[in-house]
């Protein structure tokens, strides 16, 4: 299977004191949902930010969609980043805008100049935005203000906005951390279904082991910036996944 993201012996240092990623080697296969698990501070967000080129490795090589990120900057890096969507724990919607306009902003990277108001987006963008809203189950809310939606609905809007970017990789940094268990399950189910339907590669950090096992194809466990687990979820039991959180390294890194 073709790998969409690879990390080869990647380390990331912040100053002298913090080694956020410690010799990480990792392959993320196309069209799969890979879940990152690990304690707070284990390096999950840092790893995701390296895929998006927001942060640069101190050592090692990060390859995204066939490009070694160390070899690109400026226009080429921006072009590559447009192929990588990102959803966040806090949704980052503009509450005073309609749901549909929030989704349309996902096309801004591909459009020239600023847009003020829904009518300033090309018709094809508005149509595509509506299609994505329909896919996430929110077509009826298209003309509501975004801040009138529940947290789970807002995260689904954020996913629709990311899809409008037509990404080949979707990064999700704790996308369900602020949601109730039912909404969290719905959002994870949606991510997994979209990944399968669109052959979209999803790389997602989570704190919930059960969600990781239910909706991930693969689980990668980080502890103190090191990969301590890398396994397909099929055949992985809860105890093995939970061991990522134990203080002593008992889980061997696996291929
Ligand atoms: N910009 C930064 N400057 C300095 N240190 C940083 C920076 N970003 C992250 N770190 C440090 O790197 C380590 C890994 O942080 P990171 O945010 O990647 O962890 P995480 O697993 O995503 O945590 P959480 O689950 O709380 O989001 C931590 O020690 C953190 O304090």
What share of the chain has pLDDT > 70, as a percent?
Answer: 96
Phi, psi angles (nearest 5°) of residue 227: -80, 120
| φ and ψ at residue 62, rounded to 5 degrees | -110, 120
User: What is the CA(51)–ligand 1 centre distance, in A?
Assistant: 15
Q: What separation in Å is there between the alpha carbon of 57 and the centre of ligand 1?
A: 14
For a mutational test of ligand 1's pocket, the pick from 35, 41, 178, i.e. the residue with the most ligand atoms closer than 8 A to its C-beta, is 41
Distance 18 CA to ligand 1 centre (A): 9
46 in contact with ligand 1, CB cutoff 6 A = yes
Regarding the beta carbon of 203 and ligand 1, being less than 6 Å apart is answered no
DSSP code, position 4: E
* Residue 250: per-residue pLDDT: 52
What's residue 107's pLDDT? Answer: 85
85 C-alpha to center of ligand 1: Å? 20
What's the pLDDT at 57? 96
Is residue 188 within 8 A of residue 205, CB to CB? The reply is no
Whether residue 148 has pLDDT greater than 70: yes
Tokens found for residue 235:
């055949």
Tell me what the mean pLDDT of segment 109-124 comes to.
83
Residue pLDDT, tens place only, 176-198: 999 999 999 999 999 999 999 99
45 Cβ closer than 6 Å to some ligand 1 atom: yes
Q: Is 20 in the pocket of ligand 1 (CB under 6 A)?
A: yes
Mind listing the pLDDT tens digit for each residue in 218-228? 999 999 999 99
Q: What is the arithmetic mean of pLDDT over 94-105? A: 95
pTM of the model: 0.92
Contact present, 108 and 102 (Cβ < 8 Å) = no
The pLDDT of residue 119: 82
Is the CB of residue 42 below 6 angstroms from any atom belonging to ligand 1?
yes
The predicted pLDDT at position 221 comes to 97
C-beta 14 within 6 A of ligand 1: yes
Q: Is the pLDDT of residue 43 over 90?
A: yes
Dist CA 39 CA 180 (whole Å): 20
Looking at ligand 1, which residue's alpha carbon is closest to its atom 24? Answer: 40
Q: In what order do the strands lie in the sheet with 84-88?
A: 84-88, 169-173, 201-205, 33-37, 218-223, 226-232
The pLDDT of residue 255 is 46
* Candidate from 7, 13, 14 with most ligand 1 atoms within 8 A of CB, to mutate: 14
Closest-CA residue, ligand 1 atom 17, reads 45
Whether the predicted pLDDT of 247 surpasses 80: no
Closest protein CA for atom 3 of ligand 1? 14
Quickly list H helices, the chain.
Answer: 44-51, 74-81, 99-104, 123-135, 151-164, 181-198, 209-215, 238-242
Segment 159-181, tens digit of pLDDT:
999 999 999 999 999 999 999 99
CA atoms within 13 A on the CB side of 70: 10
* Confidence check: pLDDT of 217 > 90: yes
In this predicted model, what pLDDT tens digit does every residue of 9-29 receive, in sequence order? 999 999 988 999 999 999 999
Dist. CA 48 → ligand 1 center (Å): 11
Helix (H) or strand (E) holding 115, with range, is none
What are the residues whose beta carbons fall under 8 Å from the beta carbon of 86, sequence distance 6 or more? 48, 52, 162, 170, 171, 172, 173
Chain centroid offset of residue 97 CA? 24
Query: Closest residue (by CA) to atom 5 of ligand 1?
Result: 14
Q: Is 6 exposed, middle or buried (0-12, 13-18, 19+ CB in 10 A)?
A: middle
Mean pLDDT score across all residues of the chain = 92
Tokens of 253: 């890194």
Is 35 within 8 Å of 139 (Cβ atoms)?
Answer: no
Q: Which of 136, 139, 187 lies closest to 163, judged by CA?
A: 136
Atom of ligand 1 nearest to the CA of 55: 1
Residue 253 has pLDDT above 90, yes or no: no
Q: pLDDT exceeding 90 applies to what percent of the chain?
A: 85
């Amino acid at each position: 299977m073709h790998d969409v993201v690879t990390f080869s012996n990647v380390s990331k240092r912040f100053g002298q004191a913090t080694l956020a990623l410690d010799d990480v080697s990792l392959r993320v296969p196309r069209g799969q949902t890979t879940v990152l698990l690990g304690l707070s501070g284990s390096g999950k967000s840092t790893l995701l930010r390296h895929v998006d080129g927001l942060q640069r490795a101190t050592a090692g090589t990060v390859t995204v969609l066939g490009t070694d990120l160390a070899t690109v900057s400026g226009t080429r890096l921006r072009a590559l980043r447009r192929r990588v969507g990102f959803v966040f724990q806090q949704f980052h919607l503009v509450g005073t805008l309609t749901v549909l306009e929030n989704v349309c902003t996902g096309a801004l990277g591909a459009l020239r100049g600023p847009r003020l108001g829904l009518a300033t987006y090309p018709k094809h963008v508005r149509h595509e935005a509506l299609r994505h809203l329909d896919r996430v189950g929110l077509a009826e809310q298209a003309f509501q203000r975004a801040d009138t939606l529940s947290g789970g609905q807002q995260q689904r809007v954020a996913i629709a906005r990311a899809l409008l970017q037509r990404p080949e990789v979707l990064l999700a940094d704790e996308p369900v951390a602020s949601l109730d268990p039912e909404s969290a399950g719905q959002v994870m189910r949606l991510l997994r279904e979209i990944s399968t339907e669109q052959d979209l590669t999803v790389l997602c950090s989570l704190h919930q082991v059960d969600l990781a096992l239910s909706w991930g194809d693969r689980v990668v466990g980080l502890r103190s910036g090191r990969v301590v687990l890398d396994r397909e979820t099929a055949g992985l039991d809860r105890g093995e996944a939970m061991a990522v959180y134990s203080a002593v390294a008992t889980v061997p890194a696996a291929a």
